[in-house]
Structure 1
Amino acid sequence: MKRPNLLVINPNSSPVMTGDIEATVQVLSDRLHFDFVVTSTPGAPDVLESFRDYTLGGASVLQRLAKQPPDHFDGLLLACFGDPALYALKEQVLLPVTGIAEASFSLALLLGYRFGILAASAKAKPMMESLVLSYGLQARLAGVAALEVPIGDFAGRPGSQEDLMVEKCESLRQAGAEVIILGCAGMTGIGARLQQRTGLTVIDPVVAGCTALWQMIAGGFCPSRTGLYA
């Protein structure tokens, strides 16, 4: 297999969060031997904290790729935990495509029976519950714990809320979670530390997304064109 080339799109316009995502992807690139480009989305909100933000960010990604198709890439990762416009991307882009939430949920099902999600803001809690429902996985969800911290506070310093995150992981453990998913790309880089401190399996969504995309490319799998994504 030739060395895959991955396009990782952060659908917000934050250069700091994009840098955090890129740092994680670089570590995986060295381990899994793929090339990559990580890019933000000019014109999108600097953080995506509402359904309106998701719509604006997702639309910006779709418009950009319509003008500049990712033909020289082997796969595309949408690096926002809301998976904004993911299904539209699977219709539009003739490549393996996944989002970091979709990939994280899929991985969590392999690693334990019930999973919990660490969300950033209070509003993100019902948004994450709604997202899990849309994927039909509500029976496997132990709960969502909100840190009640703005998403932007994680940018450039994902470990700044580590003690609070450990506390929330413990509350999710008490609710029955065996696996913890970090519910924001801005939390990337802290997963291994949380796993060490809590003893729980912790999924970094950027790691899950890149790994899933790499596996799709290696296996020769693309979204089906005969039904939902036709």
Structure 2
Amino acid sequence: MTSLESKIHSSIGSPSSPIEILLINPNSTKAFTLDLVPVLKKSIPSDVLIDFLTAPESAPRSINDNHDCALSTTVCEEYLNLNNPALTFLEGYSCIIVACFSQHPLVDSLKRAVKGQSRPAVILGILDAAIYSAMGLGGKFGIVTTGQQWEPLFDEAIASMGLSSRYSGTKGTGFDAVSLHGSEVSDIMIKASIELVKQGAEVIILGCGGMSNMRSTLERDLCEKVGRRIPVIDGVQAAVDLGIGYARMGIAPAF
């Protein structure tokens, strides 16, 4: 096996699919990655392959702040040998997704790694993909996330993108990605979403890749509570769909 094939622990779709996507979970909790498999398996087209890769045990179990982002980037750069100028094993992918809801520096590391390849992959973070999707569905979006420490960080991220006028704020639930289970979490997420709707949000974004399997339930329960449809966006699904769209258009990145 090649150095990359030995690190992939799950795949969905046919190996002969013309559109190949690599989804990287930059924390070390493999269960998070595997939770995404059934979610994405329901929706991917027959001509798409998704490979799933999780960072090694030296990466944080849950990414809870910018320090964890930086540490997980360093670990992944070494694990994937991204600083090797002769790197070739990422060639062939249409899209590579970093499945952490943040301005994760691994996105830029991957862009540098594939720069100069004849057909470089599109590199996507799930924060950007979720925001692009949300803006097509409503005027303002709000983000429901894990810990409250993300609230000012996402405020800064949205401001740096020039999108503050489309943003109603972020609400942290007080949980980290490891503890996203149970009815208590669901209740707090609904309450946080309702607060964001009161602040003008017409679309809710799930601010953690570990929330992907909660999207449809939250959308249903939230709409029942507020009496109208409030779309809920999962950044992982949004990034996969965006990557597929670029591949179908035959578009490669500018770098």
TM-score by length of 1: 0.89
Query: Is 1:35 aligned to residue 49 of structure 2?
Result: yes
| C-alpha displacement of 1:61 | 2.5
Unpaired segments of 5 or more residues in structure 1? Answer: 226-230
1:173, 1:89 → 2: CA distance?
35
Would the aligned equivalents of 1:159 and 1:190 in 2 still touch at CA under 8 Å? no
Amino acid at match of 1:92: A
Would the aligned equivalents of 2:144 and 2:171 in 1 still touch at CA under 8 Å? yes
Larger Rg: 1 or 2? 2
* CA offsets 1:124-154 (integer angstroms, 9 cap, x no match): 1112212212222111111111111122102
2:242, 2:220 → 1: CA distance?
23
Amino acid at match of 2:239: G
1:127, 1:152 → 2: CA distance?
20
Trace 1:155-170 onto structure 2 (pairs within 5 A).
Answer: 157=181, 161-170=185-194
Equivalent residue number for residue 144 of structure 1: 170
User: Which 4+ stretches in 1 moved above 6 angstroms?
Assistant: none
Amino acid at match of 2:102: G
**Does 1 or 2 have the higher relative contact order (CA < 8 Å, sep 6+)?**
1
* CA offsets 1:89-137 (integer angstroms, 9 cap, x no match): 2232221111111100111111111000001101111122122122221
2:160, 2:178 → 1: CA distance?
26
1:7 to 22, 42, 47: 22
Query: Is 1:189 aligned to residue 210 of structure 2?
Result: no
Would the aligned equivalents of 1:182 and 1:202 in 2 still touch at CA under 8 Å? yes
| C-alpha displacement of 1:53 | 0.5
1:135, 1:44 → 2: CA distance?
28
Trace 1:1-230 onto structure 2 (pairs within 5 A).
Answer: 3-29=18-44, 31=45, 33-42=47-56, 43-65=58-80, 66=82, 69-85=89-105, 86-93=107-114, 94-154=120-180, 157=181, 161-199=185-223, 200-225=230-255
Amino acid at match of 2:54: S
3-state DSSP class of the match of 1:188?
A: helix
* CA offsets 1:28-71 (integer angstroms, 9 cap, x no match): 32x46411111111121111111111011122233333266312
* CA offsets 1:168-215 (integer angstroms, 9 cap, x no match): 111000000000000000111111111111121000111111111111
Unpaired segments of 5 or more residues in structure 2? Answer: 1-16, 115-119, 224-229
TM-score by length of 2: 0.81
**Matched-pair identity in %:** 26
| C-alpha displacement of 1:220 | 1.5
Equivalent residue number for residue 228 of structure 1: none
3-state DSSP class of the match of 2:76?
A: helix
Would the aligned equivalents of 2:92 and 2:121 in 1 still touch at CA under 8 Å? no
